[in-house]
Amino acid sequence: QVQLVESGGGVVQPGRSLRLSCAASGFTFSSYGMHWVRQAPGKGLEWVAVIWYDGSKKYYADSVKGRVTISRDNSKNTLYLQMNSLRAEDTALYYCVKGSGNYHTNWFDPWGQGTLVTVSS
Amino acid sequence: QSALTQPPSVSGSPGQSVTISCTGTSSDVGSYYRVSWYQQPPGTAPKLMIYEVNNRPSGIPHRFSGSKSGNTASLTISGLQAADEADYYCSSYTDTDTWVFGGGTKLTVL
């Protein structure tokens, strides 16, 4: 079955960087667009970024644009999120999510269990 | 990229039906059939319940249905059960090649 396992979260000071990873298995990773979605403690879901199946296109939420880079290594079935200049408002549980198609995503399924990022001094 | 508008909470008794609305704009919900709904019980990851406005993934009960009219999508849950108690989120593709979620609706089964 499809599995998405995030890692890399932790406590980081404001202004510092962090790289999240998502190990995928159970499907042909290189054939699907992949997303990061986050959820601040006690808050709703916020879409963060998408990368097309071949890495050729990437799109970001305005709230993270210029500070975050999504990437993937199809040879390792792994998705990444490089986060720079972290702010307190970036504190959230970050979910790795499989898109429904190679570039056009019509729905998000499944979701990983998430990795928690806490930005605090 | 403003969040889609959902009611903060809805409630119903077992066996009843409830409808959760999700209002966007002509730049998202109003222009695309890429509207989906997710269920999130406390402490768990979201789960896909409805995709492309009104389609159920395999294993999702027929009690869950979706629809759309103009800029507003809706999720209806009939024959409410205690197990349905959770947060529900809508999502839509937008005309800037991004996605947006609703603020979430807490469903309470009385």
Q: What are phi and psi of A11, to 5 degrees?
A: -95, 130
pLDDT at A12: 97
Which pLDDT score is estimated for B39?
98
Cα dihedral sign, B23-B26-B30-B33: negative
pLDDT bucket at B2, cuts 50 / 70 / 90: confident
CA distance B66 to B35: 9
A–B CB contacts, 8 A cutoff, strictly below: 71
Identify the contact set of chain A against chain B, taking CB-CB distances under 8 A. 35, 37, 44-47, 50, 57, 59-63, 95, 100, 104-114
Joined tokens for residue A89: 């408002």
Strand partners, A98: A34
Partner-chain contact B51 A112, CB within 8 Å: no
- For the stretch B38-97, pLDDT in tens is 999 999 999 999 999 999 999 999 999 999 999 999 999 999 999 999 999 999 999 999
- In this prediction, residue B109 has a pLDDT band, given cuts at 50, 70 and 90, of very high
Averaged pLDDT, B5-21 = 97
Look at residue A104 in the predicted model and tell me its pLDDT: 77
Question: Residue A18, SS3?
Answer: strand
pLDDT tens digit string along A58-114?
999 999 999 999 999 999 999 999 999 999 999 999 999 999 987 778 899 999 999
Chain A residue whose CA is closest to B6: A44
pLDDT digits (tens, 9 = 90+) for A32-42: 999 999 999 99
Distance in Å, alpha carbon of B20 to nearest chain A alpha carbon = 15
Q: What is the pLDDT, as a whole number, of residue A101?
A: 82
Residue B71: closest CA among B15, B32, B42: B32
B107: confidence class by pLDDT, cuts 50, 70, 90 = very high
